[in-house]
Chains A and B, each alone.
Chain A
Amino acid sequence: MNWFTKTFSSTVGRKIVMSITGLFLCSFLVVHLIGNLQLFKDDGGEAFNIYSHFMATNPIIRTMEIVLVLGFLFHIYDAIVLTRKNKAARPIGYADSRPQENSTWSSRNMGLLGTVILVFLIIHLWNFFVPARFGGLDGVVIENVEYDNLYLKVVQSFDIWWYVAIYVISMVALAYHLIHGFQSAFQSLGLDHKKYTPFIQKFGYAFSVIVCAGFAVIPLYFFFLK
Chain B
Amino acid sequence: MAGSNPNAKPMDLTLKVWRQKNKDAAGQLVTYPVKGISPDMSFLEMMDVLNENLLRSGEDPIAFDHDCREGICGACSLHINGRPHGPERGTTTCQLHMRHFKDGDTITIEPWRAAAFPVHKDLVVDRSAFDRIQQAGGYVSVNTGGVPDANEIPIPKTIADKAFDAATCIQCGACVAACKNASAILFVSAKVSQLALLPQGKVERQTRVENMVAQMEIEGFGACSNTGACAAECPVGISLENINMLRREYISAKATSENF
Contact = CB atoms under 8 A, between A and B. Distances in A.
A153 to B, nearest CB: 38
Contacts of A88: 115, 220, 222
A89 B183 contact: yes
Interface string B47-66: 00000000000000000000
12 contacts: A2-B260, A7-B254, A10-B214, A11-B224, A85-B223, A86-B183, A89-B220, A94-B110, A94-B113, A96-B110, A184-B225, A190-B248
A107 B247 contact: no
A90 B113 contact: yes
B132 to A, nearest CB: 16
Contact of A93 (B113, B227, B243): B113
A86 B44 CA distance: 31
A187 B243 contact: yes
A98 B223 contact: no
Interface of B: 16, 18, 29, 79, 81-83, 87, 108, 110, 113-116, 178, 180-183, 185, 213-214, 216-217, 220-229, 232-233, 240-241, 243-248, 250-251, 254, 259-260
B254 A3 contact: yes
A11 B250 CA distance: 11
Contacts of B243: 187
Given A10-B217, A102-B229, A190 B110 contact: no
A110 B225 contact: yes
B183 A11 contact: yes
Interface in A87-133: 88-99, 101-104, 107-108, 110
B108 A188 contact: no
Interface residues of A, number: 41
A189 interface: yes
Contacts of A142: none
Given A12-B250, A82-B222, 20 more contacts: A7-B254, A10-B213, A11-B223, A15-B223, A15-B224, A89-B114, A89-B115, A89-B221, A90-B115, A94-B82, A96-B81, A98-B81, A98-B83, A102-B83, A108-B180, A184-B226, A187-B240, A188-B247, A190-B251, A192-B240
A189 B255 CA distance: 13
A14 interface: yes
Nearest to B27: A92
Interface of A: 2-3, 7, 10-16, 82, 85-86, 88-99, 101-104, 107-108, 110, 180, 183-184, 187-192
Contact of B180 (A15, A85, A86, A192): A86
Which 7 A/B pairs are nearest by Cβ-Cβ distance? A89-B222, A98-B82, A190-B247, A11-B223, A192-B244, A190-B248, A102-B232
Contact of B228 (A2, A96, A107, A189): A107
A15 B224 CA distance: 8
B227 A107 contact: yes
A176 B254 CA distance: 32
Nearest to B82: A98
Contact of B229 (A16, A82, A96, A99): A99
A14 B229 CA distance: 20
